[in-house]
Chain A
Amino acid sequence: MGPYVLRRLGQSLFTVVIVVVSVFMLLRLMPSSGYFTREDYVNMDATARTAYLRNMGVLDNPAIQFGHFISGLAKADLGRSIAIYPRTPVLTILAEKAPYSLWFGLAALVISMGLGLGLGVLMARQKDKVADGIGTVYVTIVRAIPSLIWLFLIQQWVTGLLGWPMVFYGDRPVSWILPTASLSLSGIAWYAIWLRRFMVDEENRDYVRFATSKGLPRRRVMTGHVLRNALVPLVQYFPQQVLLTIAGSLLIESIYSIPGMGGLLVNAIRQQDNPIVQALVLLYSVLGIAGVFLGDILMMLVDPRIKLEGSGGAKAGKA
Chain B
Amino acid sequence: MSADNILEVSDLRVSFSLRGKMLTALRGTSLELRRGETLAVVGESGSGKSVLAKTFLGMLDKNGRVESGSIIFDGQDLARYTTEKQWLGIRGKRIAMIFQDPMTALNPLKTVGEQIREAAALHRGLDRRTSRLAVIETLERVGIGEPELRYRQFPHEFSGGMRQRAVIAAAVACRPEVLICDEPTTALDVTVQAQILDLIKSLQRDLHMSVLFITHDLGVVASVAQRVAVMYSGQVVEEGSVEEVFYDPRAPYTWALLASLPQLGVKGEELYSIKGTPPSLFKEIRGDAFAPRNPQALEVDFVEEPPAFPVSPTHWARTWLLDPRAPCIEAPRSIMRLRERLSKARKDPGRAGKASGGEA
Q: Which residues of A contact B91 (CB under 8 A)?
A: 212-215
Interface size on B, residues (CB 8 A): 35
Taking a contact as CB atoms under 8 Å apart, the answer to whether A217 and B88 are in contact is yes
Give the distance to chain A from B42, nearest Cβ to Cβ, in Å.
22
Taking a contact as CB atoms under 8 Å apart, the answer to whether A214 and B118 are in contact is yes
Known: A212-B91, A214-B118. A228 touches B97 (CB 8 A): no
Interface residues on A, range: 20 to 34
Give the distance to chain B from A222, nearest Cβ to Cβ, in Å.
12
Per the 8 Å Cβ criterion, residues 216-250 of B in contact with A are none
Q: Which residues of A contact B119 (CB under 8 A)?
A: 214-216
Taking a contact as CB atoms under 8 Å apart, the answer to whether B156 and A318 are in contact is yes
CB-CB nearest in chain B for A207: B107
Q: Which residues of B contact A225 (CB under 8 A)?
A: 107, 110
Q: Which residues of B contact A209 (CB under 8 A)?
A: 59, 99, 105
Q: Which residues of A contact B170 (CB under 8 A)?
A: 210, 214
Taking a contact as CB atoms under 8 Å apart, the answer to whether A319 and B156 are in contact is yes
Per the 8 Å Cβ criterion, residues 285-319 of A in contact with B are 302-305, 316-319
Q: Which residues of B contact A317 (CB under 8 A)?
A: 156-157
Taking a contact as CB atoms under 8 Å apart, the answer to whether B118 and A224 are in contact is yes
Known: A212-B91, A214-B92, A216-B122. A229 touches B109 (CB 8 A): yes
Tell me what chain A mostly uses at the interface: helix, strand, loop, or mixed: helix
Give the distance to chain A from B147, nearest Cβ to Cβ, in Å.
18
Known: A210-B167, A213-B91, A214-B96. A228 touches B156 (CB 8 A): no
State the total of A-B contacts with C-beta under 8 angstroms: 86
Type the 1/0 row for B37-56, where 1 means its CB is closer than 8 Å to any CB of A.
00000000000000000000
Type the 1/0 row for B117-132, where 1 means its CB is closer than 8 Å to any CB of A.
0110011000000000
Tell me what chain B mostly uses at the interface: helix, strand, loop, or mixed: mixed
Taking a contact as CB atoms under 8 Å apart, the answer to whether B156 and A304 are in contact is yes
Taking a contact as CB atoms under 8 Å apart, the answer to whether B106 and A210 are in contact is yes
Taking a contact as CB atoms under 8 Å apart, the answer to whether B92 and A207 are in contact is no
Type the 1/0 row for B164-189, where 1 means its CB is closer than 8 Å to any CB of A.
00010011001000000000000000
Q: Which residues of A contact B76 (CB under 8 A)?
A: none
Taking a contact as CB atoms under 8 Å apart, the answer to whether A213 and B156 are in contact is no
Taking a contact as CB atoms under 8 Å apart, the answer to whether B99 and A210 are in contact is yes
Q: Which residues of A contact B154 (CB under 8 A)?
A: 304-305
Known: A216-B118, A319-B156. A207 touches B105 (CB 8 A): yes
Give the complex CA separation of A212 and B118 in angstroms.
11
Taking a contact as CB atoms under 8 Å apart, the answer to whether B105 and A206 are in contact is yes
Task: Verify if B158 is at the interface (C-beta below 8 Å from A).
Answer: yes
Give the complex CA separation of A133 and B22 in angstroms.
25
Give the distance to chain A from B72, nearest Cβ to Cβ, in Å.
20
Give the distance to chain A from B104, nearest Cβ to Cβ, in Å.
4
Known: A214-B118, A316-B156. 10 other contacts (CB 8 A): A207-B108, A213-B57, A214-B92, A215-B122, A215-B174, A225-B110, A304-B154, A305-B109, A319-B157, A319-B160
Contact surface of A with B, Cβ cutoff 8 Å? 205-207, 209-218, 220, 224-225, 228-229, 232, 302-305, 316-319
